[in-house]
């Protein structure tokens, strides 16, 4: 079974790589942009999958981290593009248009916020956990709307994509490869974490909290670390998403986006390494193919989701490999 | 008399008007199996929960090897050396037998922060897990997913996970529950040898097992210990007969 799943994993990543490669050859930059969108959404969902799939915690507020990553990029790049200083209260810094620096800031801010949200929300469980994470999401959303320095409701446009040493990031295929590379790296890290002592403990905590405590594990501590890791990855994806569109708006914080991330994970296969990637590819493909025909394409997405929830809990990956649930 | 491994001092727990645990003082001595018996609703499970830390007593304290562990949470008590098995199996059902045993090794060694090394390829964890599985006779099922185990095998795995903790004391909540005659016999023989490693506080309904194993028996009725003594003493105690054994005959 495991070999089989490895084969699926490789095939999915090759497919995601071959589409833009072909588009590059035939000179269709829009298709490359679509593939980049899929890779970035996949990365965001890979983050959520750690918390949702392995940890069993349904966060309905993951857009917080996506938005924080986006705004980390927007704020730093905004000051760089306007040659203004950024006052942090404790000191004044310059903006930057260096992607690695922006990513680092996005990751750190998201991880710290995830810890704080986790500390409060992990005191609850079930529906209350879903509601409290949703509430945090809405808090950030309304804050972003009223934050006039950075465009308020209108958001911020960044005219030139940020820089990565040695690459021309405005070239679609180079930017795609950068995002794809980060996705592959994150998948590798996630796979290691999933099989580590921490992964085994977190996965067991989801299945039986009493068992975890009885062997000397502290569920909340494990879940908090998962929250931080999960938020950091989704935050990184947010920074990439902002650079992809060269635009950031409060909609990155919206609860619809939190919902979409959950949908991506469920379509692909909850708790499975490559599940979110499949989910993101299916989502972007449907959005593009059906979205061109009708603006009601979400109906088709809804039908697929319904089918998966009713008949195939393991998502697309469950259908392919004949098993569902998280594997460590 | 040698020092007690585990002691409860005057534990009290009330739920409204109901006194679930009423001044319960029990000791668990080295090398012994101390059985706690009593009719349904006598407060046996409530007592176990208070010893293991999942329920706070209203008053009284719990000591392990002379150290007051009353303020410890469940995880801390497990690490201090209390290994509990559950009446209804609490296992990671989607995981394999080996993963469940490795989980015990991870928890007791306090290494759940390790995020890079593959836990199932870490020799020290595997060795400890395999030893425990070997002892309960589950080694040939080590790669079976837990959900596919028989009820009896799950009971064995409960004991195996407790073994991986290498505890100071075992707290076993009806380990024989749902086992057939054959299974009970095997487990009885196993527990008989286990007491020399760490003493066992045994809550059990299977009276054959209790009388075969227990060095001492405490009888709990309406949250109160009405008698403690050897199997023979308990059998012949008039109070116990009236309160408990009498009901059965």
B107/A325 CB distance under 8 A: no
B contact test, residue of A215, A270, A314, A327 with most B CBs within 10 A = A215
Residue A325: list chain B partners with CB under 8 A: 94
Residue A203: list chain B partners with CB under 8 A: 92, 94-95
**Structural domain boundaries of chain A?**
2-321
**CA–CA gap between residue B25 and residue B18 (Å, rounded):** 19
**CA–CA gap between residue B163 and residue B193 (Å, rounded):** 13
Q: Which residue of B has its CA nearest to A325?
A: B94
CATH code: domain A2-321 is 1.10.3470
Give me the residue from A203, A215, A222 closest to B161, CB to CB: A215
The side-by-side arrangement of strands in the sheet containing B59-64 is B18-28, B6-15, B59-64, B67-68
Residue B131 domain flag = yes
Task: Identify the CA nearest to B34 among candidates B244, B228, B241.
Answer: B228
B103/A211 CB distance under 8 A: yes
Q: Are residues B63 and B107 in the same domain?
A: no
Cβ B90 vs Cβ A208: under 8 Å: yes
How close is the nearest chain A Cα to the Cα of B3, in Å?
25
Instruction: Tell whether ipTM is more than 0.90.
Output: yes
Give me the residue from B108, B112, B125 closest to A222, CB to CB: B112
B108/A216 CB distance under 8 A: yes
Give me the residue from B75, B95, B116 closest to A217, CB to CB: B75
Task: Identify the CA nearest to A107 among candidates A229, A278, A260, A258.
Answer: A229
**CA–CA gap between residue A227 and residue A190 (Å, rounded):** 13
**CA–CA gap between residue B161 and residue A108 (Å, rounded):** 38
Q: Which residue of A has its CA nearest to B172?
A: A214
Write down the pLDDT at residue A91.
83
Q: Are residues B159 and B197 in the same domain?
A: no
Task: Identify the CA nearest to A214 among candidates B156, B71, B84, B165.
Answer: B84
Residue B51: list chain A partners with CB under 8 A: none
On the question of pLDDT at B248 being above 80, the answer is: no
SS3 sequence of A201-243: HHHHHHHCHHHHHHCCCCHHHHHHHHHHHHHHHHHHHHHHHHH
Cβ B90 vs Cβ B161: under 8 Å: no
Give me the residue from A198, A216, A217 closest to B115, CB to CB: A198
Q: Which residue of B has its CA nearest to A205?
A: B92
> Which tops the pLDDT comparison, A3 or B67?
B67
Q: Which two tokens stand for residue B212?
A: 């075969």
A47: CB partners within 8 A, 6+ apart: A62, A65, A186, A229, A230, A231, A232, A233, A234, A235, A236, A237
Q: Are residues B161 and B177 in the same domain?
A: no
Q: Can you tell me the mean pLDDT for A200-226?
A: 97
**CA–CA gap between residue A122 and residue A141 (Å, rounded):** 21
How many domains, in total, are found in chain B? 2
The DSSP line for B168-203 is SEEEEE-TTTT--HHHHHHHHHHHHHHTTTS-EEEE
**CA–CA gap between residue B17 and residue A191 (Å, rounded):** 53
Give me the residue from B107, B111, B120 closest to A195, CB to CB: B120
Percent of chain A with pLDDT over 70: 97
B165/A216 CB distance under 8 A: yes
Write down the pLDDT at residue A313.
72
CATH number for B237:
3.40.50.300
A201/B107 CB distance under 8 A: yes
Mean pLDDT, chain B, whole residue set: 92
Task: Identify the CA nearest to B108 among candidates B138, B140, B82.
Answer: B82
Q: Does A304 reach chain B within 8 Å, measured CB to CB?
A: no
Residue B176 domain flag = yes
| Last residue of one domain, picked from the residues B147, B166, B185 | B166
Residue B116 domain flag = yes
In total, the C-beta contacts within 8 angstroms joining chain A to chain B are 112
Q: Can you tell me the mean pLDDT for A45-52?
A: 97
- In this prediction, residue A302 has a pLDDT band, given cuts at 50, 70 and 90, of confident
Cα B105 to Cα A32, A53, B149, distances in angstroms: 48, 23, 21
Q: Does B111 reach chain A within 8 Å, measured CB to CB?
A: yes
Residue B91 domain flag = no
Q: Are residues B138 and B29 in the same domain?
A: no
Cα B203 to Cα A210, B24, B52, B146, distances in angstroms: 18, 15, 14, 25
**CA–CA gap between residue A253 and residue A139 (Å, rounded):** 9
Q: Can you tell me the mean pLDDT for A181-186?
A: 98
Q: Does B102 reach chain A within 8 Å, measured CB to CB?
A: yes
Give me the residue from B76, B90, B114 closest to A208, CB to CB: B90
Q: Does A193 reach chain B within 8 Å, measured CB to CB?
A: yes
Q: Which residue of A has its CA nearest to B89?
A: A211
Q: Can you tell me the mean pLDDT for B117-146?
A: 95
Percent of chain A with pLDDT over 90: 80
Cβ B26 vs Cβ B223: under 8 Å: no
Q: Which two tokens stand for residue B239?
A: 């109070």
A31: CB partners within 8 A, 6+ apart: A19, A20, A22, A23
Task: Identify the CA nearest to B181 among candidates B216, B202, B212.
Answer: B212
Cβ B218 vs Cβ B8: under 8 Å: no
Give me the residue from A199, A218, A325 closest to B75, CB to CB: A218
Residue A225: list chain B partners with CB under 8 A: 113
> Residue for token digits 């680092």?
A104
Write down the pLDDT at residue A1.
47
Residue B89 domain flag = no
Q: Are residues B133 and B180 in the same domain?
A: no
Could you read off the pLDDT of A61-113 as tens digits, one per residue? 999 999 999 999 999 999 999 899 888 888 888 899 999 999 999 999 999 99
Write down the pLDDT at residue A280.
97
Q: Are residues B203 and B221 in the same domain?
A: yes
Residue B155 domain flag = yes
Pure H helices in chain B? 44-52, 74-80, 97-109, 123-136, 151-164, 181-194, 207-213, 231-236, 238-240, 246-248
Q: Does B99 reach chain A within 8 Å, measured CB to CB?
A: yes
- How many Cα atoms within 13 Å fall on the side-chain side of residue B91? 31
Q: Can you tell me the mean pLDDT for B186-192?
A: 94
- In this prediction, residue A3 has a pLDDT band, given cuts at 50, 70 and 90, of low
Write down the pLDDT at residue A327.
58
Q: Does B106 reach chain A within 8 Å, measured CB to CB?
A: yes
> Which tops the pLDDT comparison, B248 or A307?
A307
Q: Can you tell me the mean pLDDT for A204-227?
A: 97
Q: Are residues B198 and B140 in the same domain?
A: no
How close is the nearest chain B Cα to the Cα of A60, in Å?
25
Q: Are residues B73 and B173 in the same domain?
A: yes
- Phi and psi at residue B111, in whole multiples of 5°? -120, 30
How close is the nearest chain A Cα to the Cα of B97, in Å?
12
| Last residue of one domain, picked from the residues B166, B193, B211 | B166
> Which tops the pLDDT comparison, A299 or B76?
B76
| Residue range(s) defining the domain that contains residue B178 | 1-81+169-249
Q: Does B107 reach chain A within 8 Å, measured CB to CB?
A: yes
Task: Strands of chain A (E only): list them.
Answer: 85-87, 92-94, 156-157, 247-248
Could you read off the pLDDT of A226-283 as tens digits, one per residue? 999 999 999 999 999 999 999 999 999 999 999 999 999 999 999 999 999 999 999 9
- In this prediction, residue B2 has a pLDDT band, given cuts at 50, 70 and 90, of low
On the question of pLDDT at B56 being above 80, the answer is: yes
Q: Are residues B147 and B218 in the same domain?
A: no
| Last residue of one domain, picked from the residues B116, B138, B166 | B166
Q: Are residues B174 and B229 in the same domain?
A: yes
Mean pLDDT, chain A, whole residue set: 93
Highest-scoring range by mean pLDDT, A219-228, A267-276, A305-314, B37-46 = A219-228
Q: Are residues B48 and B149 in the same domain?
A: no
**CA–CA gap between residue A251 and residue B59 (Å, rounded):** 54
Percent of chain B with pLDDT over 70: 97
Write down the pLDDT at residue A296.
86
B contact test, residue of A190, A208, A216 with most B CBs within 10 A = A216
On the question of pLDDT at A60 being above 70, the answer is: yes
Q: Which two tokens stand for residue B228?
A: 């403690």
3-state helix, strand, coil in chain B (%, to 5): 40, 25, 35
How close is the nearest chain B Cα to the Cα of A86, in Å?
36
How close is the nearest chain A Cα to the Cα of B197, in Å?
18
B contact test, residue of A53, A186, A213 with most B CBs within 10 A = A213
Q: Are residues B139 and B152 in the same domain?
A: yes
A212/B107 CB distance under 8 A: yes
């Amino acid at each position: 079974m495991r070999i089989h799943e490895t084969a699926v994993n490789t095939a999915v990543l090759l497919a995601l790589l071959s589409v833009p490669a072909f588009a590059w050859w035939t000179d269709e930059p829009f298709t490359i942009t679509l593939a980049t969108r899929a890779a970035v959404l996949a990365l965001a969902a890979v983050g959520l999958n750690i918390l949702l799939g392995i940890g069993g915690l349904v966060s309905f507020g993951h857009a917080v981290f996506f938005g924080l990553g986006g705004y980390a990029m927007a704020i730093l790049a905004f000051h760089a593009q306007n040659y203004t200083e950024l006052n942090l209260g404790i000191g004044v810094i310059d903006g930057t248009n260096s992607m690695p620096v922006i990513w680092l800031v996005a990751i750190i801010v998201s991880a710290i916020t995830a810890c704080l949200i986790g500390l409060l929300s992990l005191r609850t469980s079930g529906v209350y956990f879903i509601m409290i994470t949703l509430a945090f999401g809405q808090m950030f959303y309304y804050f972003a709307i009223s934050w006039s320095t950075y465009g308020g409701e209108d958001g911020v446009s960044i005219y030139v994509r940020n820089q990565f040493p040695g690459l021309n990031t405005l070239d679609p295929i180079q930017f795609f490869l950068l995002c794809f590379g980060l996705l592959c790296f994150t998948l590798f890290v996630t796979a290691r974490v999933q099989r580590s002592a921490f992964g085994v403990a977190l996965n067991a905590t989801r299945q039986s909290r009493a068992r975890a405590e009885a062997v000397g594990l502290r569920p909340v501590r494990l879940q908090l670390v998962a929250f931080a890791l999960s938020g950091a990855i989704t935050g990184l994806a947010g920074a990439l998403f902002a650079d992809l569109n060269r635009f950031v708006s409060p909609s990155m914080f919206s609860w619809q986006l939190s919902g979409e991330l959950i949908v991506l994970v469920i379509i692909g296969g909850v708790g499975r390494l490559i599940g979110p990637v499949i989910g993101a590819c299916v989502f972007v493909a449907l959005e593009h193919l059906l979205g061109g025909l009708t603006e009601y394409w979400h109906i088709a997405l809804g039908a697929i989701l319904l089918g998966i929830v009713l008949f195939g809990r393991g998502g697309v990956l469950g259908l392919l490999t004949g098993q569902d649930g998280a594997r460590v | 008399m040698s020092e007690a491994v585990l002691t409860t001092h005057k534990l009290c727990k009330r739920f409204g008007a109901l006194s679930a645990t009423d001044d319960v003082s029990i000791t668990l001595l080295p090398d012994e199996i101390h059985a706690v018996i009593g009719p349904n609703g006598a407060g046996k499970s409530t007592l176990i929960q208070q010893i293991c830390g999942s329920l706070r007593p209203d008053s009284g304290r719990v000591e392990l090897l002379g150290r007051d562990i009353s303020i410890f949470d469940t995880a801390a008590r497990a690490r201090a050396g209390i290994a509990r098995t559950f009446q209804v199996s609490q296992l990671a059902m989607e995981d394999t037998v080996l993963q469940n045993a490795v989980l015990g090794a991870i928890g007791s060694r306090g290494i759940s922060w390790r995020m890079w090394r593959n836990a199932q390829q870490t020799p020290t964890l595997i060795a400890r897990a395999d030893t425990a599985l070997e002892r309960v006779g589950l080694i040939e099922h080590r790669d079976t997913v837990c959900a596919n185990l028989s009820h009896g095998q799950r009971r064995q795995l409960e004991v195996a996970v407790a073994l991986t903790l290498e505890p100071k004391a075992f707290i076993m909540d009806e380990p024989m529950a749902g086992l057939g005659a054959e299974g009970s016999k095997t487990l009885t023989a196993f527990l008989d040898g286990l007491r020399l490693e760490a003493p066992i506080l045994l809550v059990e309904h299977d009276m054959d097992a209790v009388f075969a194993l227990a060095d001492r028996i405490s009888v709990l009725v309406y949250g109160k210990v009405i008698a403690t003594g050897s199997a023979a003493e308990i059998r012949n105690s008039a109070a116990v007969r009236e309160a408990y054994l009498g009901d059965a005959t």
